[in-house]
Amino acid sequence: MAAAEHASSKDKAKDKSQDAATTWHGIVLQTLKRNEIKLVPYVPDRVLTTLIKDLHADPYFTTFPTAREEEAVGIVSGAWMAGMRGAVLMQTSGFATLANVLASLAVPYQIPLIMFVSERGTLGEFNYGQALVCRTMRPVLDSLAMEHHTITRLDELEFIADRSIKQAVTTQAPVALILSPLLTGGKTFDK
Amino acid sequence: MTNTPARNTKVMNRFDLTRRLVAGLKDEAVIGGIGNTNFDLWAAGHRPQNFYMLGSMGLAFPIALGVALAQPKRRVFALEGDGSLLMQLGCLSTIATLAPKNLTMVVMDNGIYQITGSQPTPAAGHTDIVAVAIACGLASSSWAADEDDFERLIEQSKQAAGPTLIGVRIDDKPGTGTTRRDPVQIRERFMHGMGVRQLL
């Protein structure tokens, strides 16, 4: 019995380490950790479920939901100015609420705001509202000349996320990392 | 709601209260919300531990929460207007859940958007902001009856076991000074004041 339990916990540990290397959410979590990003407020999204669950399970992170995305931006901005690094998780429609705070806080104050945006509204979207709001995201980012990358491939995720976080911190500029359905599988009507 | 506790409190002045707060400070952080709250904070005497918002209406409390989480040993004060807080009421629930004991929030309530022409807020005369805060889970929330009570509540918040919110009724006077609108310098000096960065 004890041996069986031991074996099963060993298997679980093995699964976890495989997760870290082979799943997009495992790579994101490890990349956050490697870059000493401890504070991760979020407004949830179905696609982000496993990542959020794993962040909560890991005592390294202080992670919690906020009522609005801009609230989370305010929190990580304050924390960064006081010496703690953070990142915000959201979905496309949440990003659409951020134009004011990006233009009045993150960009002019030169705050390295790191955002992970789970992309809805494309590649099989079933909600017309999501499809429309998605089209506002890149024009808003471009209009503020903000760095952003759309991550589509698992083998490029770590490079893009790690380098982008380091660039945000060293150049004191916000960055949006858009997690494409090509990477995450996205949300489809039958899910 | 004709007899809310708010109506039994004295109508005070934002600049006077801000001066009283700042006079008792050492290395505490103070986050001033958009417009008049940060103008009066500036006018009360600039200090490197002050952060002045130049936009992002409603984010004074979330920014202060971030500072409080990053530096749990430092007291963090946040000054916010009633109209601004109405933009971001949800943050009261977030703060109640995280419950940082080093955070003291002050709501300057005049029931108007003073800076845009003194139009009444949708809450004016009907919503008791302290009651809202209590209902969000911020148990240590109360109206300051007068200036002495304000100073007493500020002192009391320093020993509190959780976050404190203090509501103050204020008059319709505009801010006293005008903050120098240089966001990078404001942020850089604040980070220096927080001890996380040396000035060039």
Is B200 part of any domain?
A: no
Interface test with A, best of B91, B132, B186, B190 (most A CBs within 10 A): B91
CB A161 within 8 A of CB A27: yes
Q: Is residue B198 part of a domain?
A: no
Phi and psi at B23, nearest 5°, equal -60, -30
Residue A3 placed within a domain: no
Structure tokens at A34: 């490697």
Q: Look up tokens 């760095």; give the residue.
A: A147
Average pLDDT over residues B23-43: 97
Counting residues of chain A whose pLDDT is more than 70, the rounded percentage is 88
- Give the model's pLDDT for residue A1: 38
Closest CB to A75 among B66, B195, B196: B66
Inter-chain residue contact B56 with A100, CB threshold 8 Å: yes
- The total domain count for chain B is 1
pLDDT confidence of residue A187: 85
Q: How many CB atoms lie within 10 A of CB B86?
A: 17
Q: What is the pLDDT of residue A188?
A: 79
Q: Which residue has the tokens 């505009």?
A: B174
Mean pLDDT of the A117-143 span: 96
Q: Residue B144: inside a domain, yes or no?
A: yes
- Domain holding B35, by residue range, is 5-193
Asked whether the beta carbons of residue B66 and residue A80 sit closer than 8 angstroms, the reply is: yes
Q: What angle do CA B94, B99, B105 make, to 5 degrees?
A: 80
Q: How many structural domains does chain A have?
A: 1
Q: Is residue A1 part of a domain?
A: no
What's the average model confidence in pLDDT over A18-22? 74
Task: Map residue B31 onto helix, strand or coil.
Answer: strand
For residue B1, pLDDT over 50 is answered with no
The per-residue DSSP string of B76-122 comes to: EEEEEEHHHHHHTTHHHHHHHHH--TTEEEEEEE-SEEGGGT-EEPT
CATH of the domain at A178: 3.40.50.970
Residue A168 lies in a domain: yes
Q: Which two tokens stand for residue A3?
A: 């041996």
CATH number at B164 reads 3.40.50.970
Is A64 domain-assigned? yes
Question: Are A76 and B66 an interchain contact pair (Cβ–Cβ within 8 Å)?
Answer: yes
The two structure tokens encoding residue B12: 């005070």
pLDDT at res. A3: 45
Contacts of B141 (CB under 8 A, 6+ apart): B130, B133, B134, B164, B165, B166, B167
Best residue in B49, B56, B92 to probe A by mutation, most A CBs within 10 Å?
Answer: B56
What count of other Cβ atoms lies within 10 Å of the Cβ of residue A144? 15
Contacts of A67 in chain B (CB under 8 A): 88-91, 93-94
Q: Please list the residues that pair with B78 across neighbouring strands.
A: B31, B105
> B184, A105: Cβ pair inside 8 Å?
no
**Domain range enclosing A137:** 23-184
- Asked whether the beta carbons of A64 and A17 are under 8 A apart, the reply is no
pTM of the model: 0.94
Q: Mean pLDDT, chain B, as a whole number?
A: 95
By a Cβ cutoff of 8 Å, what residues of chain B touch chain A?
Answer: 29, 31, 51, 53-59, 61-71, 74, 88-91, 93-94, 97-98, 183-184, 186-187, 190-191, 194-196
Yes or no: say if B73 and B196 are a contact pair by the CB < 8 Å rule.
Answer: no
- A153-160 long-range contacts (CB < 8 A, ≥24 apart) are A153/A182, A153/A183, A154/A22, A154/A24, A154/A27, A154/A183, A157/A24, A157/A27, A157/A28, A157/A31, A157/A183, A158/A27, A158/A30, A158/A31
Task: Kindly report, residue by residue over A64-91, the tens digit of the pLDDT.
Answer: 999 999 999 999 999 999 999 999 999 9
Distance from CA of B3 to the nearest CA of A (A): 31
Of all residues in chain B, what percent carry a pLDDT higher than 90? Answer: 94
For residue B125, what pLDDT is reported? 87
Q: Is residue B158 part of a domain?
A: yes
Q: What residues contact B77, with CB distance under 8 A and at least 6 apart?
A: B21, B25, B28, B29, B30, B31, B64, B104, B105, B106, B154
3-state secondary structure of B12: strand
Inspect the interface and report whether the beta carbons of B91 and A77 lie closer than 8 Å: no
Q: Is residue B199 assigned to a domain?
A: no
CA separation for the pair A31, B38 (Å, rounded): 37
Cβ contact, residue pair A100, B187, below 8 Å: no
Res A4 pLDDT > 60: no
Token duo for residue B42: 């500036």
Of B56, B93, B194, the CB nearest to A81: B194
Q: Does residue B111 lie within any of the structural domains?
A: yes
Please report whether residue B78 resides in a domain: yes
Residue-wise pLDDT for B50-101, tens only, equals 999 999 999 999 999 999 999 999 999 999 999 999 999 999 999 999 999 9
Per-residue model confidence (pLDDT) at position B199: 86
Query: Residue A154 has which token pair?
Result: 């698992």
Cβ-based contacts of A76 with chain B (< 8 Å): 66
Q: How would DSSP label each residue in B134-157?
A: HHTT--EEEE--SHHHHHHHHHHH
